[in-house]
């Protein structure tokens, strides 16, 4: 139904959406949360950042009380108990249980506090493991996600369904767009929690000149990468929708792990070869989101070319983590 409307000719202007608004951001010191806070600041919002030190989102009554006291107009939920694939594999309980609780507490608290909208960061990992590529929103429920991050993915699905329920029952504008894998300046430095690009970047900047870069798996699975500032802009732009929608936020560009690893080498001006280790797991075979609905409903598309984003990330990693 919504797709039949003419596509907006330009992406939303964040200052029009957020200027003068009181906006709570959870996970405000995380990778995405910091980028969201920076964009809200530039848009003229009154940003009310929450980190774990200020408020433990696992504490339901504390979340309700704090949100009521802060009186936000909008809540942007970027907190997550999460990490890379290795962390998910070793912490299936925390990755499911804690995230269900955190998500539910913030959504419930935002509604009870009288906010007019809730925007929660969702993830492409909520899609079925085997899904036609590019992933379109209507296929979201057609199978079980990649089992390595099953409970985490299910926590994202619970939030999706509860957003739908809050809108249906209370008319509350609640949505959780599905974000592709993120990369860019400010990503995790802890190798145990790094995603694919962060893991490759961290290794490549430490390699001696000309040394080979070892890559887990066969190099054939595909991934999509969304630059951090594009992700923050896309997430915040969702407030421009006339009603909440299930919506992908990605680039629509699918890269093999081998091509990605080569792009990382190029961004770092590293001349070493790629060496694949097929004894290590490949993970989900293909991942790439359709961007058609975001373009049709929001007029939004990611702006940052991969090579440009990787160069910015390399510069940041080199400054944050000098070679040993
Ligand atoms: N990174 C990606 O590639 C990616 C891809 C798709 C979707 N997403 C989604 O984007 C969102 C943000 O991801 P991210 O990469 O920015 O994560 P992140 O860097 O790990 O940040 C998450 C933040 O959540 C906070 N947090 C965790 N447990 C908490 C608790 N119990 N109470 C209060 N705060 C808590 C942490 O606060 P402290 O720092 O204070 O501990 C942390 O700063 C998540 O929903 C994730 O699923 C991320």
Interacting residues of 167 by C-beta distance below 8 A, sequence separation 6+: 173, 174, 175, 243, 244
Return d(Cα 161, Cα 126) in angstroms, integer: 12
Return d(Cα 149, Cα 30) in angstroms, integer: 20
Query: Half-sphere exposure of 214 toward its Cβ, with a 13 Å CA cutoff?
Result: 6
User: What confidence score (pLDDT) does residue 92 get?
Assistant: 94
User: What confidence score (pLDDT) does residue 148 get?
Assistant: 87
How much is the average pLDDT of 54-71?
98
User: What confidence score (pLDDT) does residue 159 get?
Assistant: 98
Question: Could you read off the pLDDT of 142-176 as tens digits, one per residue?
Answer: 999 999 899 999 999 999 999 999 999 999 999 99
**Residue 227 is among the residues annotated as catalytic for this protein:** no
User: What confidence score (pLDDT) does residue 104 get?
Assistant: 98
**What is this structure's pTM?**
0.95
Catalytic residue among 18, 127, 144, 152: 152
Using the atom order of ligand 1, give the atom closest to the CA of residue 188: 19
Give me the residue label for tokens 């009154």. Answer: 46
Q: Does residue 2 surpass a pLDDT of 50?
A: no
Residue of the CA atom closest to atom 24 of ligand 1:
79
The fold of the 14-183+225-253+289-303 domain, in CATH, is Rossmann fold (3.40.50)
Residue 3: which pLDDT band, with cuts at 50, 70 and 90? very low
Task: Indicate the top mutation candidate among 28, 79, 175 to test ligand 1's pocket, ranked by most ligand atoms within 8 A of CB.
Answer: 79
Three-state DSSP state, 100: helix
Strand pairing partners for 39? none
290 Cα to the center of ligand 1, angstroms: 24
Residue 243: which pLDDT band, with cuts at 50, 70 and 90? very high
- Taking alpha carbons only, the member of 12, 15, 27 closest to residue 186 is 27
- Taking alpha carbons only, the member of 289, 22, 248 closest to residue 131 is 289
- Run of H or E residues at 277: strand 274-277
Sorted by where each begins, the domain ranges of the chain are: 14-183+225-253+289-303
- Run of H or E residues at 228: helix 228-237
Q: Do residues 227 and 268 touch, judged by C-beta distance below 8 A?
A: no
Residue of the CA atom closest to atom 36 of ligand 1:
27
How much is the average pLDDT of 218-228?
96
């Amino acid at each position: 139904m919504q797709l039949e409307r003419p596509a907006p000719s330009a992406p939303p202007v964040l200052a029009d959406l957020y200027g003068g608004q009181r906006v709570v951001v959870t996970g405000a010191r995380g990778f995405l949360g910091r980028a969201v806070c920076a964009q809200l600041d530039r848009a003229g919002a009154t940003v009310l950042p929450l980190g774990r030190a200020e408020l433990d989102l696992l504490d339901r009554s504390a979340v309700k009380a704090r949100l009521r006291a802060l009186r936000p107009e909008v809540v942007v939920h970027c907190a997550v108990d999460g990490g890379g694939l290795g962390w998910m594999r070793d912490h299936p309980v925390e990755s499911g249980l804690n995230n269900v609780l955190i998500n539910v507490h913030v959504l419930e608290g935002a509604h009870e506090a009288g906010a007019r909208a809730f925007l929660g960061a969702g993830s492409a990992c909520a899609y079925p493991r085997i899904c036609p590529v590019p992933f379109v929103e209507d296929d979201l429920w057609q199978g079980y996600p990649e089992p390595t991050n099953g409970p985490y993915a299910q926590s994202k699905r619970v939030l999706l369904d509860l957003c739908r329920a809050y809108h249906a029952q209370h008319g509350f504008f609640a949505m959780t767009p599905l974000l592709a894998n993120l990369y860019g300046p400010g990503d995790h430095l802890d190798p145990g929690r790094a995603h694919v690009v962060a893991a490759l970047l961290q290794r490549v900047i430490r390699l001696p000149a000309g040394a080979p870069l070892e890559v887990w798996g066969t190099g054939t699975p595909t991934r999509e990468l969304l630059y951090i500032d594009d992700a923050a802009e896309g997430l915040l732009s969702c407030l421009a929708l006339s009603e909440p929608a299930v919506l992908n936020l990605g680039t629509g560009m699918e890269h093999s792990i081998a091509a990605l690893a080569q792009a990382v080498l190029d961004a770092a001006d590293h001349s070493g070869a790629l060496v694949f280790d097929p004894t290590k797991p490949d993970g989900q075979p293909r991942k790439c989101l359709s961007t058609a609905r975001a373009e049709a409903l929001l007029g939004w598309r990611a702006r940052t070319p991969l090579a440009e984003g990787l160069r910015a990330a390399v510069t940041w990693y080199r400054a944050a983590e000098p070679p040993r």
